[in-house]
Amino acid sequence: MPRPYRRRNNPCTAVPEELLQKGYAWEAMREQYFKSINRLDDALEANYLKSIYSRRLWEECSIHIDPFKTQ
């Protein structure tokens, strides 16, 4: 049985439009958590996914997220 195709270049394309903001918030929380426990490689991956969510929010929903806004 062949393995299913996995999109490696853009892993967030399968996320529905109504969940993009939640995905962005989740990755932001993961990034902060991994930074706090000094796992910088995982924090970098979460930051990358967060940037993809941000780009999709802008392109598909015209929603701009300010990355410097404190929560």
pLDDT at 17: 85
The pLDDT assigned to 34 comes to 96
- The domain spans of the chain are 18-61
- Interval 25-47: pLDDT, tens: 999 999 999 999 999 999 999 99
Q: Do residues 46 and 37 lie in contact, with contact meaning Cβ atoms separated by under 8 Å?
A: no
Q: Does 5 have pLDDT greater than 70? A: no
Q: Give the distance from CA 41 to its chain's centroid.
A: 15
Q: Could you tell me the pTM of the whole model?
A: 0.75
Give one DSSP letter per residue of 14-35, joined into a string.
TS-GGGHHHHHHHHHHHHHHHH
* Cα–Cα distance for residue pair 70/67, rounded to 1 Å: 8
- What would the two tokens of residue 53 be? 């969510």
Average pLDDT over residues 57-70: 76
Place of tokens 């000094």: 38
